[in-house]
Structure 1
C-alpha cells in the first residue's frame, strides 16, 4: 500500500488510469495485475490474443521486428480500437532491458507507433532491468516486492500445472485446480494488507491451499518423457505465440519443464552485481541495496516454495549461478549476454536432471536463438546425444504437430538408450 493513503494510490500520476499488461505468461499477467490493484491502481492483462492481434501487429510494424513485438503491439492496438476505451485513461506496461535482444527497443518503438497514429495521450510504463527492474519511481517501494511475490507464486502454480497435467485421470481436473489456485492467489494479493510479513504469510497460505487442490486430483503413476523448454522468454511462455507447443507435446505423451519467468529477474540481479564489481563499486550504498534486495527476494522465494518441497523433488529450479556455471564451457557470461547464456546453461542443467530432450522456442530471426542453435550440436555431443531442437515462430507455423511427432520419436529413442546404458 502506498504510504499515507490507507491502501489506495492517492494522487499518484497513474491513479485513474488502467494499466494493461501483455500476457507474457497467462498466470503471471493475472497475478501481476493483482499486484497493481493491491496498491490501488487499476490493471488488467490485455484481452486474449487472436487473429486480429496478428492483423494489427502486421499493420503497425514494419516487418523487421521480432514476433513478440508484433503480438504485443497488436494486443495493445486492439485495446485502443474498442469504442469504450478512454485514451486518456490508458497506460501500457512495457518493461525494457539492455543487451543484444531487440526487447530493449519495444518501449521506444511502441511510443513511436502510438505517437504516429494519434495516440499521444496513451502512457507507457516502462521499468528497466539496469537495476533489476527497480525503476518504477514512487511505485517502487510499495509495488516491487508485491510484484515480485506475485510472479514467484504464479511460476510455482504453473510448475505444478505442467508437472501434473500429463498424468491426470480425468481431463481438465488439473486445469481446474490451477484456475482455482490462480484466482485464490489474485484475491489474496488484492485483499491482504501490503505490510511485508502479513502479505508473505497470506501468500504462503494461498500456496498451501493450492497444494491441497493439486494433490486432490487423481493422477496416474506412470512417468512420461521429460522435455525441457528454454528459449526467448515471451515466446516460450506465451501460448498464442508458440502455438500452444507445450500442450501439443503433452498430446504426444510428454511432460514439459518450462524455464520460468523469475529466472530472468535473478539473471538481471546477477548482472547488476557483476557490473558493480567490474566498476569497483562493490563497497557502495548501491551495492548494499542490491545485496539487501537479493536477500529479501531469496527469503520470499524460500518461504513461498517451501509448501511444495515434496511436490518438486527432482524438479528443483537451479540457482542462477548454477545455470551460469553450466553455460561457462560453451558461452561464458563475460563474453555474452542475455537469454543465450541462460538457455545454454539451462539446457545442460535440464539434461543432468534427466530430460529426454530439449526444445528451444524463439521468434523467427531471434539472435539469441540463432547463437544457441550454433552451440547446441556441441552440447548434444557432450551430453550423450540428447536431442535439442529449435522451433522458431512468426505466426505462420504450419507443420508444428508433424515436427513435434518426429522430435518425440528422437526423444524416446534417446531416453531408451540412456536407461539401457545405466543398467
Structure 2
C-alpha cells in the first residue's frame, strides 16, 4: 500500500515519473525485480542471503561468548568491531561472489571470539527465544531481553533472521503446489504450466538457500560450537507429528510453535516467546504451546512489548530463570 501511494505522489511531479519504486515483500519471496538491473538480481540475492546467514552466525557467536566473557563488555565491543570488518569484506568480495574469502574472514573472527571465553566459567542454563521477527530481533524493541536473561544466568539462542527468509520461500513453494493440484483438478492446463514453472523456481531457490546455510554453519561450527539452525520443512514435520497447528494458517505462529517443541526436544532449559503486545500470531502461539510445555515440564515465559516500561518484567524473568536453573540441575543442557 505504501509504495502505491508513493507512486501516485511521484507521478504528480513531471520530473519524477521515470523513477522506479521496488518493494520487498513476502508475497514474492522478497524478489528484487525492478530494484536493480535484471542481469544483476540473481547475484545480489545470493550475496544478500550469505550476508543474512553470516549475520545470524555473528549473533550466535555473541550469544555464545558473552555469558562466559573474561571481562564485562569484551564481547559487545568485539562484535561491534567485527561487524564493520564484515561490511568491508562484503564490499570487497561480494561483487565477485567470492564466498571463500568471506568465509576466511569469518573463520578469523570466530577464532578471535573464542579467546574472549573464560574456560573456568561453568556452563549455564540454555534458553531459546521465538516470536515475532521484528520485536524478537530488535534489541530496543524488546528492551534487550537477551542481556537481561544473561544477567540472571542464561545462555540464550534467538530464532534467526534467515529462518524467516527461508520460510517465505518455503511458503511460496507450498502455495504453488496447492495451486497446481487445484488447476489440475479443474483441467486448467495453462494455469498448471505456470504453477509448475513457479514451483520449480521456488524449490530451486529454497534448495540453494538451505545448501548455503548448511555449508556456512558447518564451517563456522568447526571452529566453535554455536547452535546450528533448523530447516523450515523440519518445523512443518513437527507440527504434523504433534497435530497442534498447520502451515496452511501461516504467520510466525507456524514457526514459533514447532520451534518451541524443537528447543525442548534438544534439551533447552526454558523458552521465551517475544512479541508485540496484542500480536495475534504470538497470542495463538501462547495459547497452543502452554499446555504442551507444561506436559513437557519446561519453563516458558510470554514477553509482550509495547514500548512502555513494565515494572513486573524483571521479576517475571527472575522467576523464569529460577525455574530454568532447577530444570538445568535436574536435566543438564544441550552441548
Q: Which TM bucket (shorter chain)?
A: 0.7 to 0.9
Distance in 1 (CA, whole Å) between partners of 2:4 and 2:292 is: 36
Which stretch of structure 1 is more off in the superposition, 140-149 or 358-367? 140-149
Classify the secondary structure of the residue corresponding to 2:26: coil
TM-score, with length taken from structure 1? 0.66
In structure 1, the residue matched to 2:101 is 202
Unaligned runs of 5+ in 2: 11-15, 181-191
Classify the secondary structure of the residue corresponding to 1:409: helix
2:207 matched to 1:295? yes
Distance in 2 (CA, whole Å) between partners of 1:405 and 1:175 is: 23
CA offset digits 1:168-192 (Å, max 9, x no partner): 1111222233223211210011122
2:274 matched to 1:357? no
Classify the secondary structure of the residue corresponding to 2:272: strand
Give the one of 197, 201, 222 matched to 1:285: 197
Give the one of 18, 35, 57 matched to 1:156: 57
Distance in 1 (CA, whole Å) between partners of 2:201 and 2:94 is: 24
Cα 1:312–1:344 change in 2 (3 A) is farther
- Alignment check: 8 A CA contact 1:128 1:135 kept: no
Give the one of 181, 189, 202 matched to 2:90: 189
Runs of 4+ in structure 1 over 6 Å off: 121-124
In structure 1, the residue matched to 2:160 is 260
Give the one of 142, 145, 148 matched to 1:248: 148
Classify the secondary structure of the residue corresponding to 2:328: helix
CA offset digits 1:59-106 (Å, max 9, x no partner): xxxxxxxxxxxxxxxxxxxxxxxxxxxxxxxxxxxxxxxxxxxxxx7x
Give the one of 15, 26, 42 matched to 1:129: 26
- Residue 109 of structure 1: CA displacement? 10
Classify the secondary structure of the residue corresponding to 1:284: helix
In structure 1, the residue matched to 2:189 is none
Give the one of 300, 324, 327 matched to 1:414: 327
- Residue 335 of structure 1: CA displacement? 4.1
- Alignment check: 8 A CA contact 1:330 1:375 kept: no
In structure 2, the residue matched to 1:381 is 294
In structure 2, the residue matched to 1:309 is 221
Unaligned runs of 5+ in 1: 1-104, 116-120
Classify the secondary structure of the residue corresponding to 1:219: coil
In structure 2, the residue matched to 1:44 is none
Distance in 1 (CA, whole Å) between partners of 2:330 and 2:173 is: 42
What's the Cα RMSD here?
2.7
Give the one of 292, 305, 309 matched to 1:393: 305
CA offset digits 1:354-405 (Å, max 9, x no partner): 211100000000001110111122211332x211111110011322222211
Cα 1:314–1:260 change in 2 (3 A) is closer
In structure 2, the residue matched to 1:271 is 171
- Residue 151 of structure 1: CA displacement? 0.8
Structure with higher RCO (Cα < 8 A, 6+ apart): 2
- Residue 314 of structure 1: CA displacement? 7.5
TM-score, with length taken from structure 2? 0.83
Cα 1:124–1:360 change in 2 (3 A) is farther
- Alignment check: 8 A CA contact 2:22 2:34 kept: no
In structure 2, the residue matched to 1:30 is none
Classify the secondary structure of the residue corresponding to 2:46: helix
Classify the secondary structure of the residue corresponding to 1:279: helix
Distance in 1 (CA, whole Å) between partners of 2:54 and 2:123 is: 25
Which stretch of structure 1 is more off in the superposition, 305-314 or 181-190? 305-314
In structure 2, the residue matched to 1:214 is 113
Equivalenced residues, count: 306
